[in-house]
Amino acid sequence: MSAPGLSSPEREPPLQEAMEPDLESRVVEDDHQALKLWLRLLACTTRVEEHIRNRLRQQFNTTLPRFDLLAQLDRHAQGLSMRELSQRLMVTGGNVTGVVDQLEAEGLVQRQPHASDRRSFTVILTPLGRRQFRRMAATHEAWVVELLEGWSAEEKSQIYALLAGLKTHLAQSRTAAEPAPSVARASPRATLSSRRKKDNSA
């Protein structure tokens, strides 16, 4: 039984045949339901990102990575280190450095000496950077609202809750898959065997 307000598989509206090919185009009828769902989620995410990227470039002459970095700094008024930015954005330190260099040259962010690590810097928003980001963020939110208008408020609430369960499952799966820290410690038998070999070769 499907969740209230959500279409069941039997009543699923057919996708437009004229829709441009995307990641879901590779799906065939015999594919596992989980694979079909994953590719549909990925296809929808990619389409939303494509809309956002194009609009950011056209209306603000900026990119999604720059917007995401400014968003992180807006949430942390005290600033973030380059390492923290890299972790939150899930990109390499080199990519973060390049974006920070661009934004600093435009007067939107500023590097400051780290309070406890002289080898590191803290990146903060400048007043200009904060004003510009807040203006972009308001427009960005309106875009996302528009792009998700295909769902009712009830459907969005249900899907949000369902994805929370999936997110929790993925976090638990990752934790379970991580190998336990091992201690490089030879067993007494191996140590004894090694000593015997040394004694025989002496």
* pLDDT tens per residue across span 11-48: 455 554 446 766 666 766 778 889 888 898 999 999 99
Q: What is the pLDDT of residue 23?
A: 61
Q: Which of 13-17, 79-83, 148-152, 153-157 has the lowest mean pLDDT?
A: 13-17
Q: What is the pLDDT of residue 92?
A: 85
What are the residue ranges spanned by the domains of the chain?
Answer: 17-61, 62-153
Between 20 and 193, the higher pLDDT residue = 20
**Which residues sit opposite 121 in a β-bridge?**
113
Q: What is the pLDDT of residue 156?
A: 96
In this prediction, residue 200 has a pLDDT band, given cuts at 50, 70 and 90, of low
- For the residues 59-68, what does the mean pLDDT come to? 96
Distance CA 119, CA 2 (A): 55
Task: Please report where in the chains the tokens 């209306």 appear, as a residue.
Answer: 59
Half-sphere exposure of 151 (CA within 13 A, CB side): 16
pLDDT for 73 beyond 50: yes
Between 125 and 185, the higher pLDDT residue = 125
SS3 90: coil
Q: Would residue 79 be called left, alpha or beta, if left means φ above 0 and alpha means ψ between -120 and 50 degrees?
A: left
List alpha helices for 93-126, DSSP H.
Answer: 93-105
Q: What is each CA distance from 195 to 157, 185, 187, 201, in whole angstroms?
A: 67, 15, 12, 10
CATH architecture assignment, domain 62-153: Orthogonal Bundle (1.10)
Question: Does this model's pTM top 0.75?
Answer: no
Between 35 and 61, the higher pLDDT residue = 61
**Which residues sit opposite 171 in a β-bridge?**
none
In the chain, the percentage of residues whose pLDDT exceeds 90 is 56
Per-residue b or e along 82-111, where b marks 16 or more CB atoms closer than 10 Å to that residue's CB: bebbbebbebeeeebeebbebbeeeebbbe
Question: 77-108 pLDDT, tens per residue?
Answer: 999 999 999 999 988 888 899 999 999 999 99
Q: Which of 89, 83, 85 is nearest to 117 (CA)?
A: 83
Q: What is the dihedral of CA 178, 181, 186, 187, to 10 degrees?
A: -70
Question: 115-144 pLDDT, tens per residue?
Answer: 777 778 899 999 999 999 999 999 999 999
Quickly list DSSP for 120-133: -EEEEE-HHHHHHH
